[in-house]
């Protein structure tokens, strides 16, 4: 498994394993930033210049043509999280990738996308949907 390096909050260099799915952004000037870059560096979401993003991408790290692209509305804020779900029919926690964006200034509108373990996608305006309904142990 590939290891990527990053500088933690204390300024120390740490390593992290590559994820099955990773994010990338394309800025308005067509430059890119990837969560796991070609130089072996790991980037955090906080490094994204959100006001300049035109495209947010989630791509499968071992199969880069498998990807989900979101054209970002102006003033949108990117959301990216992991959900570790333990469905009632499993003894194991299952990782689900959650991403999307929110728009609005006072009243927020949310757009959530969930990538399930078998790479199916669920889209919702709610972040608290019962993901166990989607047979998460299927691969």
Domain count, the chain: 1
**112 lies in some domain:** yes
Instruction: Provide the mean pLDDT of the chain.
Output: 90
Q: What Rg, from alpha-carbon coordinates, does the chain have?
A: 16
Residues 129, 87 contacting (CB under 8 angstroms): no
Q: Distances in Å between the alpha carbon of 9 and those of 12, 82, 100, 126?
A: 7, 20, 25, 31
The pTM assigned to this predicted structure is 0.87
Q: What are phi and psi of 21, to 5 degrees?
A: -125, 140
| Tens-digit pLDDT profile for residues 54-70 | 999 999 999 988 999 99
Could you tell me which of 49, 58, 56, 47 has the C-alpha nearest to residue 21?
58
Residues 105-127: what's their mean pLDDT?
Answer: 90
The Cα 48–Cα 40 span in angstroms is 17
Q: Is the pLDDT of residue 114 over 70?
A: yes
**82 lies in some domain:** yes
**139 lies in some domain:** no
Task: Tell me which residue range forms the domain holding 64.
Answer: 3-134
**8 lies in some domain:** yes
């Amino acid at each position: 498994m590939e290891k990527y390096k990053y500088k933690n909050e204390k300024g120390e260099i740490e390593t992290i394993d590559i994820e099955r799915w990773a994010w990338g952004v394309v800025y308005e000037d067509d430059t890119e930033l990837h969560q796991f870059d070609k130089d072996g560096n790991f980037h955090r979401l906080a490094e994204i210049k959100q006001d300049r993003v035109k495209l947010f991408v989630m791509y499968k790290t071992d199969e880069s043509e498998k990807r989900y692209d979101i054209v970002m509305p102006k003033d949108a804020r990117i959301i990216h999280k992991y959900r570790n779900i333990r469905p009632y029919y499993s003894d194991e926690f299952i990782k689900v990738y959650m991403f999307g964006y929110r728009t609005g200034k006072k009243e927020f509108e949310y757009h959530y996308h969930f990538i399930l373990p078998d790479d199916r996608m669920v889209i919702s305006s709610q972040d608290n949907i019962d993901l166990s309904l989607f047979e998460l142990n299927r691969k």
